Homo-oligomer: A and B are copies of this chain.
C-alpha cells in the first residue's frame, strides 16, 4: 500500500541508437511515479503548487541495471522514503512487466520551496499529516 505503481509503455521517442530506452528518458518516468504517488495520497502535486509550494529536485541517483525497450510495459514502483518539514525523498524501482526484470533503481531528494519567494520553506502541518503514513522505511 505504501508502494505506488505506475504502469505505461516505453515510447519510440524514448529509445536511442543503441536500440534501448535512453538513460535520460527514465527521469520523466520517475517524475510520473512521484506525481502518481502524491495523487494517491490525496495531495496531488497541482494542489501543492496552488498552495504556493514547489517541490524542487536537489539530488538524483540512478543505477541502470538492465535496459527497457520500445513498447515494453514498464512499472514504476515509487515510495516516499524520507519526509521532513523542509525536504523529502523518494525511492524508485523500474521493472519490465513481462519479465519482471529490474531496469533501474533510483532515489531523488527534494527541497520545499516557496513559489513567491523562491526560498526554502516548510511544508504546512496538514500536508505533512497526510503524507506521514506513506513514509516507507526500507529503501
Contact = CB atoms under 8 A, between A and B. Distances in A.
Contacts of A17: 12, 15-17, 19-20, 69-70
Contacts of A62: 59-60
Contacts of A58: 63-64
A17 B21 CA distance: 8
B23 A11 contact: no
A31 B14 CA distance: 11
B44 A71 contact: yes
Main SS of chain A's interface residues? mixed
Given A13-B24, A17-B19, A60-B64, 17 more contacts: A8-B8, A11-B32, A12-B17, A12-B31, A12-B45, A13-B22, A13-B31, A15-B16, A17-B69, A23-B27, A23-B60, A24-B28, A35-B71, A45-B71, A46-B70, A56-B64, A60-B62
Interface of A: 8-9, 11-20, 22-24, 27-28, 31-32, 35, 44-46, 54, 56-64, 69-71
14 contacts: A11-B28, A11-B31, A12-B16, A12-B35, A13-B16, A13-B27, A15-B17, A17-B69, A23-B57, A24-B27, A45-B71, A59-B63, A60-B61, A61-B61
